[in-house]
Structure 1
Amino acid sequence: MDLDEMFGEGWCVTLAPCPLTETLHLMGVADPVPYSEGPGQVAHLLQERQDRGAFVLGRDLPGGWTLTVECESWIGFDDELLRALAADRRTALGAYRDPDTKTATLAHDGAVLGRLDLSGGYFEGPSGGVDITHPIVTSLTAVGFDASDDCEPTGEADTAEPDGCLVLAVRVLSGVTLTAADFLGPWSGGPSRTTV
Structure 2
Amino acid sequence: MSSDPVDLRQLWGEGWSITLAPRSPESALRMMGVQDIESMPSGLGAAFAGRDPRNGPPVLLAATLVDGPWSAIVECEASTGWVGMHSDVLSLLAAPGKPACTAFSDPNQLLVAFCEHASQPCGIDPRTNRRWGPYSHHAAESLRLVGFPAGYATEEQPVPEPHRVAGGALLVVRAITGIQLNHEHLAGPWIGGLSSKPAP
Please indicate the TM-score interval, normalised by the length of the shorter structure: 0.7 to 0.9
2:32 alignment partner in structure 1: 27
Cα deviation for residue 156 of structure 1 reads: 7.7
**Amino acid across the alignment from 2:41:** S
Say which SS state the counterpart of residue 139 (structure 2) adopts: helix
Taking a change above 3 Å as real, the CA distance of residues 113 and 18 of structure 1, as seen in their structure-2 partners, is same
Taking a change above 3 Å as real, the CA distance of residues 39 and 20 of structure 1, as seen in their structure-2 partners, is closer
Cα deviation for residue 26 of structure 1 reads: 0.7
1:116 alignment partner in structure 2: 124
**Amino acid across the alignment from 1:135:** H
- State the alpha-carbon separation in 1 of the partners of residues 9 and 164 from structure 2: 12
Cα deviation for residue 158 of structure 1 reads: 4.5
Taking a change above 3 Å as real, the CA distance of residues 125 and 20 of structure 1, as seen in their structure-2 partners, is same
- State the alpha-carbon separation in 1 of the partners of residues 90 and 7 from structure 2: 24
Tell me if the contact between 2:60 and 2:192 (Cα under 8 Å) persists in the aligned partners: yes
List per-residue Cα deviations over 1:38-82 (Å, max 9, x = no partner). 34324314x436415211000001121010111124001111111
1:8 alignment partner in structure 2: 13
Are residue 145 (structure 1) and residue 148 (structure 2) matched?
A: yes
> Please, which runs of 5 or more residues in structure 2 have no aligned partner?
1-5
List per-residue Cα deviations over 1:105-129 (Å, max 9, x = no partner). 0210132352121333x14013xxx
List per-residue Cα deviations over 1:81-109 (Å, max 9, x = no partner). 11111144430101111211100002101
Tell me which stretches of 4 or more aligned residues in structure 1 moved more than 4 Å: 153-156
Say which SS state the counterpart of residue 111 (structure 1) adopts: coil
Tell me if the contact between 1:15 and 1:68 (Cα under 8 Å) persists in the aligned partners: yes
Tell me if the contact between 2:161 and 2:167 (Cα under 8 Å) persists in the aligned partners: no
Tell me if the contact between 1:114 and 1:123 (Cα under 8 Å) persists in the aligned partners: no
Structure 2 length normalisation: TM-score? 0.82
1:51 alignment partner in structure 2: 55
Identity of aligned residues (%): 28
Cα deviation for residue 22 of structure 1 reads: 1.2
Cα deviation for residue 37 of structure 1 reads: 2.7
Say which SS state the counterpart of residue 9 (structure 1) adopts: coil
Are residue 125 (structure 1) and residue 132 (structure 2) matched?
A: yes
| Larger relative helix fraction | 1
**Amino acid across the alignment from 2:131:** E
Taking a change above 3 Å as real, the CA distance of residues 119 and 43 of structure 1, as seen in their structure-2 partners, is farther
Structure 1 length normalisation: TM-score? 0.84
Are residue 187 (structure 1) and residue 185 (structure 2) matched?
A: no
Count the aligned residue pairs.
189
Root-mean-square deviation (CA, aligned residues, Å) is: 2.4
Say which SS state the counterpart of residue 115 (structure 1) adopts: strand
